[in-house]
Every structure is written in structure tokens, then in C-alpha cells.
Amino acid sequence: MKLKLHVWRQPNKDQAGAMKDYAVEGVSEHMSFLEMMDTLNEQLMNKGEEPVAFDHDCREGICGSCSMVINGLPHGGHKGVTVCQLHMRHFKDGDEIFIEPWRAKAFPVLKDLVVDRAAFDRIVASGGYVSVATGGAPDANALPIPKKEADLSMDAAACIGCGACVAACKNASAMLFTAAKASHLNHLPQGQPERFERVKNMSMQMDAEGFGTCTNLSQCEAVCPKEISVRVIAEFNADLIKAQVKG
């Protein structure tokens, strides 16, 4: 099939960008969205033009590198799917597609569709870990954890840190990411000793990075490729309130 693309092109962090139109040919419905982008880039290189820069790594939905807003929806808006797993069968010949980077002050565009997500790393570095020596792998079930708690922790741990939550949010808030990174620890015994310091530090770092504030629109939950629930946000808030009371 043939597609009409509108792609954000920006040479680097300091220069302004703009949407540019491209026609891409020979796209098969069996391709993934990223393979379609590869096809576009081949065609661009054959013409001697600069290929479109975009992030990708695993191409199987687990690394969180790929990041494109497609027709106003991060990762294209299909339930539980990253761009790399988005198939071209969802599009038809002649479709017009708008492709943009994540848009947030805290995620500056480095080039074209590639944004700098180091703000997420700094949030994790501020408290998204446990500082106990974990040693070697313990025997299974040596540390009893109720199934319900383990499940809540695992659901939050599914976060691949792609940043679609920020991209989707009307307010460019990073609450879903930050809260998920706290929740997966806060549901385990190892996370308890530093539970309140963790949420305090992470919340401060989140603010310092210049993300917006949550208005409970749940747009993050709707687009999250790992379908993480805004439950984690309520937990994060509850822990911060408790942290305040406990001093």
C-alpha cells in the first residue's frame, strides 16, 4: 500500500522543527509500524535525503524505546501495544498518518522523533530502588508474600518506562510512571523500610523535571502499552499523605 505521512523533523535539540510530508510506497500489511518507517528511510536514503531518526531496540514490546505519537495517540492507541508491535494491517492504502515525538518540556526532542527521557532515569535514581544488599537468588517462597500483593507489585513492574503516559496526558504529567516505579517496590516487604522516603524523593524529582500535574483524566491508563492502572497514582498520593503525617 501507499501512505501519506506527516512526520516531525527536527535537526537537533536547539533548532526548531516542523512537520514534513512524505509519500511512502510498497508498505505491506504484514509490516510493523517501525518496518514501515524503515521502508520510508530506505526510500529517503535512496534519494539522498536524511533518514528519520526514531528510537527502537527490542522491537518486541519490552524495552520501551519506541515512542511515536500516531494520529494523536501515543503508540497508535491500540490496547496494550507499543509502536514496534503495531501492525500496518490497522491502516489501509492511501491513509494519511501524522507521526510526532512525545511532547513534553521534560522530554526535549534530540532529533526528529527521538526524545531525551533521562528525566525518568533521574526519578528512578531519586528513590525507585531498595538499598538493601540482596545477595544471591533466595530460595523460592523463602520470603512469603501474599499472592494479591505480589500481583499488584507485578502489575506495576510491567512498566517499560516508554513515557507514553506523559505523551498522552493533557498536562504532560509523569504520575503514572513515577507511581508505578514506587508501587512495584511498595507492595513487597523489601520496599517497606524506605517506603515513605521513596515517594517523597520521587515526587520532588518529578516536580523538578517540569512535568505537569495530574487531573485524573486517566489518559495515561488508556494508552499505556502495559495497561498499568491509575491505581498506582492513588497509592502514591496516599503514601505521600501518610509520609507527611509521619513526618
Give residues in contact with another protein (CB under 8 A).
6, 8, 19, 69, 71-74, 77, 98, 100, 103-106, 109, 126-127, 129-133, 168-173, 175, 194, 197-198, 200-201, 203-204, 206-207, 210-219, 222-223, 230-231, 233-241, 244, 247
Name the DSSP letter for residue 219.
H
Convert residues 75-104 into a mask of x (bound to ligand FES by CB under 6 A) and - (unbound). Answer: -------x-x--------------------
CA 51/CA 205 separation, integer angstroms: 35
**Which residue in 234, 227, 73, 237 sits closest to 160, CA to CA?**
227
Output the smallest distance, CB 40 to another protein, in A. Answer: 18
Output the smallest distance, CB 130 to ligand FES, in A. Answer: 25
Nearest CB to another protein, comparing residues 28 and 190: 190
CA 11/CA 197 separation, integer angstroms: 40
Nearest CB to another protein, comparing residues 6 and 87: 6
CB 109 within 8 A of CB 115: yes
Output the smallest distance, CB 241 to ligand FES, in A. Answer: 34
- Does 57 engage in binding with ligand FES (CB under 6 A)? yes
CA 115/CA 237 separation, integer angstroms: 28
The H-or-E segment that residue 106 falls in is none
Measured at the CA of 119, the angle between CA 234 and CA 233, to 5 degrees, comes to 5
